[in-house]
Chain A
Amino acid sequence: MMLNPAILALLMVSILVSTMLLVAATFAFRILRHWDIQSGSELQLRLERRTYLVSTLLVWAFLFEFLSLLLFIYNAEALSGQFVGAMCATGVLNLNPWGWPTLFLKITLFFVAAIWLLLNYLDNRGYDYPLIRFKYALLLMALPLVGAETILQWLHFTEMEPNLITSCCGTLFSADAQGVSAEVSGIAPANSILALAISGIVVIAAGVWVALRGQSGWLLSITGAAAFVIALVAIISSISLYIYEHPHHHCPFCILKQGHGYVGYFLYIPLFLATALSLGAGFVSPWRRITSLSQTVADVLPVISWLALFFFLQFYLTSAWSIWSSRLTMMEVWW
C-alpha cells in the first residue's frame, strides 16, 4: 500500500461521499413511498424540510466527487516517478487491474452527477417539485456506481506496491499493440482530424439550434456525446502527436505534464464540462411540457446550450492552437 497524503485524501473523500449517498438513498426510499405534495400532514412537512438537507448534501458530495476526479489524475501523474517503468499516469493506472476501471467509473460519475445536479436545480424551481420522484430514483441508480468506485479505488491504492514494475504509454498507446487503445492510436491522423472537424461543426450547429428554439435538447445530447468520443479519439490518435512533437507518441496523459504547459487540462476540462452540459440538455428539455416547469425550462435550456457551446468552442480552439503552434510536420503521414 502506498501512503501519501493525496491517496489518503482520495480514500477519505470516496468513503465520505459514499456515506453521504447512502444517507441520501435511505431518504430517497422514503420520498418514493410517502411523498404527497397535496398533503399538509406533518410527515410531508418533515420530508419537505429534509429535502433541503439531502440536496445540500448531494450538491457537496458531487462537487467533492468532481474534485476527486481531478485529484485522482493529478496524483497518478505525480506518482509516476515512484514506479519502475512508469512515465506518466498510464503507467500508474496499469499497475494493477483496478486503475482503469476506477478512472472510468469516476468519469461516468462525473456525468451522472452533472445531470443530477441540473435536474435538482430544475426541480427546485417547480412549485410542486414535479421531478422529485424521478430525481431520487435516479439517485438510487447512481448509488451502486459510487459504491463500486469506492471499492475499486480502495483496491487500486492498497494493492499498489513500491516495487511493482509497470508498462507505460509507449506500449499501451502504440499502433503495434493489441486492443482498443492500439486501434485508436492506429487511426490515421488525417481521418481523425477530419472527423473532429465534422463533429465540431455538427455539435455547434445542433447547440445553436437548441439554444434558439428552446427545445429538442436530445439533439445536443446525442451530438455532444458523439463529439466527446471523437474528441478523445482525436486526442490519442493525432492531437497528442502535435503536442509532443513526436510522430509515434500517442499518450492521452503525458499532455497533462508540466513539460507540455499542462495543456491537457485546458483540453480535458472544457471538453468534459461541455459534454456534461450537452447531456444535461437532453435531460432538461422534456420537462417543458410540465406546467410548473415550462417557464424554467425555457429560461434554462438556452443557457445550458450556450454554455456547452462555449466550452466546446474552447476545446476546439485549444486543439487547433496546439496543432497550429506545433513544430511537428507530418508530411508523409498526412495526405
Chain B
Amino acid sequence: MLIELTDVRKAFNQGKPNEFWAIQGITTQFEVNRISCLKGASGSGKTTLMSMIGCLSRPTSGRIRLQDRTISSLPERFLTQVRRHTFGFIFQRFNLIPGLSVVENIMLPAYPLGLKASSLRSRAERLLEQFLLVDKASNPVEWLSGGEAQRVAICRALINDPQILIADEPTANLDSRLSREFMVLLDQLSKAGKTVLISSHDPVVFDSPVVDRVVELEDGLMVSGEG
C-alpha cells in the first residue's frame, strides 16, 4: 500500500458565494507498481484529485498518506521536497519552456537539488538515449514534433528518478498511434518498478490492456473502481 486517501475533500473559494466542492470525500488506496487510471466526465475532479496526490495542492480536509508519512498537513515548502523526490509529472499540454533546449528542459526539475553538474548531465543523457532523443539534445523545444515533445516531457518527469509518475490526460494532444506507443512506454516503466497514475477520457488509455485498474469519478465522488 503506497498511497492512502481518507475522506479527502477539496473546496474552492471557501466561504464565498461561489464556494465549490470539487472533491467531496474520497477514500481509497493506490497500490505500488500498478498502472491506475482515473476516468470521468470533464469537471468531475480528476485533475484536482491528482494534484492533491502529487503534492501540488493540499486537501481542504481529509488525510493523504504516502508510505508512512501524512502529507496532507505539510506546508508547501515541505510538500515540494516530498514531491520532487517522489513524483514525476506529465501534463496534457507538454509545458516545456520555449527558448530552452531539450536537455535544459529535462534538467529543470533537478536544479533545486544542487547535484554535481557532471552527474546531472550524465543522468539527462542516459534518459535521452533511452527515449531516442540524443540527436535532438541541443535543439530548442519549439522545433520538436508532438510525439518528441511528449517523450521530452517523460524524460523531464524521470530526471529525479521518482517512484510515482502522474500523467494528466497525457494523450490528449497525440493521435491514436502515438497514444498506443505512449501506453507501451508506460508499461515498460511500470515493469521497471514505477507506479503510474493516469487520468484520461480516451478509450485508448482506459481500455488499454496495460492498465491494471480504472477508477471512475463523478462530481467529485468515486462511483466505481474500488481496489
> Which of B14, B74, B75 is within 8 Å of A42, CB to CB?
B14
Mask of B173-193 contacts with A, CB within 8 angstroms, 1/0: 000000000000000000000
Residues on A with beta carbons closer than 8 Å to the beta carbon of B77: 124, 127
Choose, from B39-47, B58-66, B157-165, the stretch at the interface. B58-66
Main secondary structure of the interface of B (DSSP, over half): loop
Q: A41 contacts the other chain (Cβ, under 8 Å)?
A: yes
- B75:A41 contact, CB within 8 angstroms: no
Minimum CB–CB distance from B52 to chain A (whole Å) comes to: 9
Tell me the nearest residue of chain A to B16, going by C-beta: A42
Q: B72 contacts the other chain (Cβ, under 8 Å)?
A: yes
Minimum CB–CB distance from B65 to chain A (whole Å) comes to: 15
The residue in A37, A38, A42, A48 that gathers the most chain B C-beta atoms within 10 A of its C-beta is: A42
Q: B73 contacts the other chain (Cβ, under 8 Å)?
A: yes
- B72:A40 contact, CB within 8 angstroms: yes
- Docked Cα-Cα span, A232 to B15, in Å, equals 58
Tell me the nearest residue of chain A to B19, going by C-beta: A42
Knowing A42-B14, A42-B15 are in contact, say whether A37-B75 is a contact too (CB < 8 A).
Answer: yes
Q: B131 contacts the other chain (Cβ, under 8 Å)?
A: no
- B59:A40 contact, CB within 8 angstroms: yes
Knowing A41-B14, A42-B14, A42-B15 are in contact, say whether A49-B76 is a contact too (CB < 8 A).
Answer: yes
- B76:A40 contact, CB within 8 angstroms: no
Q: B143 contacts the other chain (Cβ, under 8 Å)?
A: no
- A37:B73 contact, CB within 8 angstroms: yes
> Which of A38, A42, A49 is within 8 Å of B73, CB to CB?
A38
- Docked Cα-Cα span, A42 to B77, in Å, equals 16
- Docked Cα-Cα span, A126 to B119, in Å, equals 29
> Which of B13, B15, B73 is within 8 Å of A40, CB to CB?
B73
- A127:B75 contact, CB within 8 angstroms: yes
Minimum CB–CB distance from A31 to chain B (whole Å) comes to: 13
Q: A328 contacts the other chain (Cβ, under 8 Å)?
A: no
Minimum CB–CB distance from A247 to chain B (whole Å) comes to: 56
Knowing A42-B14, A42-B15 are in contact, say whether A48-B76 is a contact too (CB < 8 A).
Answer: yes
Mask of B55-92 contacts with A, CB within 8 angstroms, 1/0: 00011110000000000111111100000000000000
- B78:A127 contact, CB within 8 angstroms: yes
Tell me the nearest residue of chain A to B82, going by C-beta: A127
Mask of A16-42 contacts with B, CB within 8 angstroms, 1/0: 000000000000000000000110111
Residues on B with beta carbons closer than 8 Å to the beta carbon of A41: 14, 60
- Docked Cα-Cα span, A41 to B73, in Å, equals 11
Residues on A with beta carbons closer than 8 Å to the beta carbon of B75: 37, 48, 127-129
Residues on A with beta carbons closer than 8 Å to the beta carbon of B13: 42
- Docked Cα-Cα span, A49 to B72, in Å, equals 16
Minimum CB–CB distance from B22 to chain A (whole Å) comes to: 13
Residues on B with beta carbons closer than 8 Å to the beta carbon of A165: none
Minimum CB–CB distance from A262 to chain B (whole Å) comes to: 37
Residues on A with beta carbons closer than 8 Å to the beta carbon of B60: 40-42
Q: A45 contacts the other chain (Cβ, under 8 Å)?
A: yes
Residues on B with beta carbons closer than 8 Å to the beta carbon of A49: 76
- B78:A40 contact, CB within 8 angstroms: no
- Docked Cα-Cα span, A41 to B9, in Å, equals 11
Minimum CB–CB distance from A125 to chain B (whole Å) comes to: 9
Q: What would 26 A/B residue contacts be, using CB atoms closer than 8 Å? A: A37-B73, A40-B58, A40-B59, A40-B60, A40-B61, A40-B72, A40-B73, A41-B60, A42-B11, A42-B13, A42-B14, A42-B15, A42-B60, A43-B14, A45-B58, A48-B75, A48-B76, A49-B76, A124-B77, A127-B74, A127-B75, A127-B77, A128-B73, A128-B74, A128-B75, A129-B75
Residues of A within 8 A of B (CB): 37-38, 40-43, 45, 48-49, 124, 127-129
* A-B CB proximity, top 10 nearest: A127-B78, A40-B58, A42-B14, A40-B60, A38-B73, A48-B75, A40-B59, A127-B74, A48-B76, A41-B14
